[in-house]
């Protein structure tokens, strides 16, 4: 079955970076875009960007454009999200999700499978 398994919780100080992994199984890793979405404590969902695992092409939400980097290693079916220059308001659970493209709708996707989430805590 389709599965996305993320790395464990992380604690960082303000100004540091964090890198979260997302390992897929049960489907062809290069056949689906991987998206990253975060959720601050008690808050809603916020889309951060996607990576095309086949080509490595990425697309980021403008808010994160200068701080987030999505990469992948196709040999181990794993995607990575690195967020730099962390601030306290980056404290959140970070999810990876498999994107299903909506036909004839450009870059519109929905998410049919999610990782379990990784809590990133930014605190001095």
Does 27 bind another protein (CB under 8 A)? Our answer is: no
Does 94 bind another protein (CB under 8 A)? Our answer is: no
Cβ–Cβ under 8 Å, residues 104 and 45 = no
Does 119 bind another protein (CB under 8 A)? Our answer is: no
Cβ–Cβ under 8 Å, residues 22 and 79 = yes
Output the smallest distance, CB 99 to another protein, in A. Answer: 9
CA angle (120, 35, 15) in 5-degree steps: 35
Region binding another protein by CB under 8 A among candidate stretches 21-29, 71-79, 83-91, 108-116: 108-116
Output the smallest distance, CB 101 to another protein, in A. Answer: 11
Cα dihedral value 11, 123, 121, 37, nearest 10? -130
Output the smallest distance, CB 63 to another protein, in A. Answer: 7
Output the smallest distance, CB 14 to another protein, in A. Answer: 21
Nearest residue (CB) to another protein, 8 versus 44:
44
Round to whole Å and give the CA distance between 48 and 61. 5
Query: Which residue shows structure tokens 């489907």?
Result: 27
- Residue from 2, 5, 16, 102 touching another protein (CB under 8 A): that is 102
Which H or E run includes 80? strand 78-83
> Which residues make up the interface to another protein (CB under 8 A)?
35, 37, 44-47, 61-63, 95, 100, 102, 105-117
């Amino acid at each position: 079955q389709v599965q996305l398994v993320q790395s464990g919780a992380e604690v960082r100080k303000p100004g540091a970076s964090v890198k979260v992994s997302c390992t897929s199984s049960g489907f062809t890793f290069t056949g689906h875009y991987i998206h990253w979405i975060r959720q601050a404590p008690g808050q809603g969902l916020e889309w951060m960007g996607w990576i095309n695992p086949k080509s490595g092409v990425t697309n980021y939400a403008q808010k994160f454009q200068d701080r987030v980097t999505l990469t992948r290693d196709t040999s181990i079916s794993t995607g990575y999200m690195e967020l730099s220059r962390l601030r306290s308001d980056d404290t959140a659970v970070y999810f990876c999700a498999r994107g299903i493209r909506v036909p004839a709708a450009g870059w519109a996707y929905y998410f049919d499978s999610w990782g379990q989430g990784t809590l990133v805590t930014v605190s001095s």
